[in-house]
């Protein structure tokens, strides 16, 4: 039997909006737990391989912060690089977003960083 399902109450329209909503709920929960009246700054760490576009995230942030205590908050984003070390030849390098071959020997490499996506700190009052 085919069960038809309507939108589940999910109203995100792109994945950065969904990420921005999750980020905002993390920020608001932690602000409330610390009796904050206002959120002044939200600091994020976003890895270059996390699949999140920083520009799109900023755009989405402006949409989700309205009518919250983060309305006037600054969004500070620290981007982390895709650090890699080649298992074949030991060469250490920063992987490009689209290129995962060791520049020294050509072996495929899995970066050890760059997938980060978390709220690092909040400034509140």
Partner 1 sequence: MSRTILIEKKILEKNDIAAARVRQKLIADNTVVVNIMSGPGAGKTTLLEETVRRLAGKINIGVIEGDIATDNDARRVENAGAEWVVQINTGGACHLEAGMIERALETAPRGMRLLIIENVGNLVCPGGFDLGDDWKVVLASVTEGLDKPKKYPGMYRKSHALVVNKVDLAPYVNVSPDALVKEALEVNPALTVFLTAATKGDGVDTWCDWLASLKKRPIRE
Query: What character string, x for contact with partner 1 (CB under 8 A) and - otherwise, covers 80-119?
Result: -----------------xxxxx------x-x------xxx
- Please check whether residue 39 is in contact with residue 122, taking contact to mean a CB–CB distance below 8 angstroms: yes
Stretch that binds partner 1, among 19-27, 58-66, 67-75 (CB under 8 A): 19-27
Q: Which helix (H) or strand (E) holds 60?
A: helix 54-65
Query: What character string, x for contact with partner 1 (CB under 8 A) and - otherwise, covers 49-78?
Result: xxxx--------------------------
Q: Given candidates 55, 66, 67, 125, which one binds partner 1 under the rule CB under 8 A?
A: 125
Q: How far is the CB of 84 from partner 1 (least distance, A)?
A: 12
Would you say 7 or 66 has its CB closer to partner 1? 7
Which CB contacts under 8 angstroms, 24+ apart, belong to 32-39? 34/122, 34/124, 36/69, 36/122, 36/124, 36/125, 37/69, 37/124, 37/125, 38/69, 38/70, 38/72, 38/73, 38/124, 38/125, 39/68, 39/69, 39/70, 39/73, 39/122, 39/123, 39/124
Q: Given candidates 28, 40, 54, 77, which one binds partner 1 under the rule CB under 8 A?
A: 40
In this structure, the number of other CB atoms found within 10 A of the CB of residue 52 comes to 22
Question: Which residues contact partner 1 by CB under 8 A?
Answer: 1-8, 10-15, 18-19, 22-23, 25-26, 30, 34, 40-41, 44, 49-52, 97-101, 108, 110, 117-125
């Amino acid at each position: 039997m085919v069960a038809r399902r309507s939108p589940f109450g999910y109203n995100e329209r792109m994945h950065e909006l969904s990420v921005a909503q999750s980020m905002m709920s993390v920020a608001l929960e932690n602000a409330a737990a610390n009796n904050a009246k206002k959120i002044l700054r939200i600091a994020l760490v976003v890895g270059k391989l996390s699949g999140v576009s920083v520009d799109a995230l900023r755009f989405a942030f402006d949409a989700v912060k309205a009518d919250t205590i983060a309305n006037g908050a600054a969004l500070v984003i620290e981007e982390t690089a895709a650090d890699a070390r080649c298992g074949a030849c030991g060469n250490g390098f920063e992987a490009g977003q689209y290129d995962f071959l060791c520049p020294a020997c050509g072996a495929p490499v899995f970066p050890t960083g760059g997938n980060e996506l978390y709220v690092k700190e909040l400034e509140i009052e």
